[in-house]
Amino acid sequence: MLNYIENLSNTEIIFLVIGFTGQGLFASRFVFQWIYSEKKGESSIPIIFWYLSIFGGIGLLIYALFRKDPVIIIGQLFGIFIYLRNLILIYRKNK
């Protein structure tokens, strides 16, 4: 792994950090959901789940655009739209 990183340009390292940060945010949403559900005693999704989904998805999208990976690009674009839509529905309901 160290040899891999040593051979990367500074730009590639920056995008690798963006990708890992996005993946970390995206994965952490499940930890927050689990803790929230445990506290409530039922399966439930906290609002932070959607924000982590959006910001993690954006980080992964930026990385995918840099890598020119159409599979991840399409997947993240579609997902980000759904996460935003869920927030819109939540805020409309709470008005």
The 10s digit of each residue's pLDDT in 41-88 is 999 999 999 999 999 999 999 999 999 999 999 999 999 999 999 999
Per the domain annotation, does 3 fall within a domain? no
User: Has residue 1 been placed in a domain?
Assistant: no
Q: Are 44 and 37 in contact (CB under 8 A)?
A: yes
* Count of structural domains, the chain: 1
In 1-95 the beta strands, taken as DSSP E runs, fall at none
89: domain range? 12-94
61 lies in some domain? yes
Residue 56 forms part of a structural domain: yes
33 within some domain: yes
Confidence (pLDDT) at 81:
96
Q: What is the pTM of this model?
A: 0.89
